[in-house]
Structure 1
Amino acid sequence: MARCTTNGLVDPRPQPSPPDITHDATHDVRRYAGKVDLDEVLVADWRRVDDLTHAVTVRWPRHHAFYTPTPHDYTVLLFTESVRQALAVTSHLGLDIPVGHRMGWELLSCTVAPDCLAIDTDPTDLELTVTHDPFTRRRSGLARLTARVTATRGGRLLGTALIHYTAYPPALYDRLRGEHADAREAFARALPPGPATDPALVGRTDPQDVVLAEDTTHTGNDSRRRWALRADTTHPVLFDHPHDHIPGMVLLEAASQAAQAVAAPRRVVPIELDTTFSRYVEFDEPCTIVAEEPEVDALGRLRQVVSGVQCGETVFSTRVTGIFPDPVFIPRQRKHVAVRD
């Protein structure tokens, strides 16, 4: 069942594209990417290949205010955000999922090639191919979807992703969410974010970018590392509009930061994320981030399982696979710049 959603942002229902490799130029593709701040939209263009396959051009800036914490390399989280936006665009414009439906992720598996992540002197264009499995629309309007994504940069394979998600019509989603359905009310009930964990410990420099805080509730003998999830609803990238629950990108960032904290002082670069979203993560209840004992595989890569627990239930679980490029992590100072330059 889907526990991580994004929502459409415009009112007109998109018209279907013709069956060749074209698209309707009257649509501003940025309005379908699930961001209010259009400067945060990474999708530059899309086109239809066939009924279930679409090509999406994504433009990565030289630096992003949140998703490039070092000046040298792009990140798997930037790739994941690109996939999220590409799915929003192709679902609405390519598959004719009505705008206003909520896209709830249930499973995400993505991987990137670290040798394709170097930041160049100019913005970088990626070509994403998004292919959906055949699916059936229920009478209610609900559709359960599976998408497979490949991304190339300069003709080289940069990353792949597999996503299972559900498109919920508004009335059904509101019934599912009950008292938590109203995003503005959920925002207003959000617990205040606790003091940020030392930014250097999690590979950051700005405390506002830290999504982990000290866990003051745990009193047992469990040796696993624990933090409180820190949801700062004033963050301009993670929360650029009200949500009815804590978004999946925040949870993935928490898993990435937890993996870095466990590995410190060594720098770890996540290159794979395998995540199951089990329940919605609410704003008005504490959520504990738990890191299992780390492992190192035969290739010398970190294998770190990180989970979120809220009200005694596991709400998500991520296996982070990372590499150790350097013995020490020295992040750059955060730059508040627009996505495009």
Structure 2
Amino acid sequence: MTTAVHWIPEADHIMPGNADIKRLVRKADAFEVLVRDWREVGDNEHVVTVNWPAEHDFYRPEPDAYGALLFTESLRQGLALLSHTAFGIPVAHRLGWERLRSTVAPAALRAGGETRFVDMRITHSEVSRRRMGSTFLTAHVEATRNGRRLGTAEVRYNAHPGAIYDRLRGSYADAVEAFARALPPAPPVAPTLVGRTNGHDVTLAATDRPGLWQLRVVTSNTVLYDHPHDHIPGMVLLEAFSQAAQAVAAPRRVCPMNFDTTFHRYVEFDRPCWIEAEPITRYDVRLSAVQDGGVVASCIVTSAPHMGH
């Protein structure tokens, strides 16, 4: 068992000079980096500590609570970090999610005087390396904040070397070119309908059919797109699913907390993507992202009553 702790100096944010940690967690903007330290505690078992920002317009849209997807972004950064450090996957490999199941305890998201440090205990039950260089991984995450259970997750993801990834992506392999082909975003729905205060953060555009929206790709939103991507990131789809769950519940206000998501294939920038919603119960919604007539991602979102109610 390793006792060394890899520590990043305390601060609200990583400072811009720390290029290594930005590269490891796949963020271009140093002020979006959450990871503070990580250590090995057993075979394929690590603890990654993140520091949630005191203020954040996107992940803390309300003054008294963080959004549940800040937990998802935290584990995304933690998994990227471990893939390159603990498991030796080259930074040049391309990471992608296949399946994500996550649940968050609403009370642990309160943004009062509690510590902003979150400990994520991450156990990898699968690290499967293929002959051509691809790796397939499954991680189980248990997170606590101030000793209180924050959330859990199970993530299946992969890492492909450039030669394999480029072959998979074909004409879309160049991220700069693919990113530049993004369709202009349609007008947003009312921000209050989807739990937002700023139209710049809205990922849905209205259609003439109830329960159907067009995905808005606002590439100038540097939280969701802080560097060019060759496809629409999974975090964007999760945000769209979260906003659609809010819209389905309207005029009731809810907090989307549980996500059971499968990413079926890459979602392209240069063609419309549609978000379809089918209510299951008062707090459960089945959601699909559809492009070119096929489902590219699917999710069941379970919400909790809004904490202010």
User: The TM-score by the shorter chain falls in which range?
Assistant: over 0.9
Matched, 1:264 2:250: yes
Matched, 1:130 2:122: yes
| 2:163 alignment partner, one of 162, 171, 174 | 171
**TM-score normalized with structure 2 length:** 0.92
Determine helix, strand or coil for the equivalent of 2:230: coil
**Correspondence for 2:12:** none
Is the 2:144–2:150 contact (alpha carbons within 8 Å) kept by the matching residues of 1?
yes
Cα shift at 1:25:
6.2
2:108 alignment partner AA? C
Is the 2:126–2:139 contact (alpha carbons within 8 Å) kept by the matching residues of 1?
no
Cα shift at 1:63:
2.0
| 2:300 alignment partner, one of 319, 322, 341 | 319
Is the 2:115–2:146 contact (alpha carbons within 8 Å) kept by the matching residues of 1?
no
Determine helix, strand or coil for the equivalent of 1:54: strand
Larger RCO (alpha carbons 8 Å, 6+ apart) = 1
Matched, 1:304 2:285: yes
**Correspondence for 2:143:** 151
Matched, 1:233 2:214: no
* Cα distance in 2, alignment partners of residues 143 and 233 from structure 1: 29
> How many residues matched?
299
Cα shift at 1:141:
0.9
Segment drifting more, 317-326 vs 280-289: 317-326
**Correspondence for 2:74:** 82
| Equivalent runs, 1:205-284 vs 2, <5 Å | 205-215=197-207, 225-284=211-270
Cα shift at 1:38:
1.0
Q: Work out the percentage of aligned pairs sharing the same amino acid.
A: 54
Cα shift at 1:242:
0.2
* Cα distance in 2, alignment partners of residues 212 and 154 from structure 1: 35
2:212 alignment partner AA? R
**Correspondence for 1:160:** 152
Cα shift at 1:60:
0.7
**TM-score normalized with structure 1 length:** 0.84
Gaps (5+ residues) in structure 1? Answer: 1-18, 219-223, 297-301, 329-341
1:324 alignment partner AA? P
Cα shift at 1:323:
1.1
* Cα distance in 2, alignment partners of residues 83 and 114 from structure 1: 17
Per-residue CA distance 1:259-300 (angstroms, 9 max, x = gap):
11111111110110110000111000000100113413xxxx
* Cα distance in 2, alignment partners of residues 121 and 260 from structure 1: 27
2:252 alignment partner AA? R
**Correspondence for 2:132:** 140
**Correspondence for 1:95:** 87
Quote the RMSD (CA, aligned, Å): 1.8
Determine helix, strand or coil for the equivalent of 1:49: strand
Cα shift at 1:155:
1.4
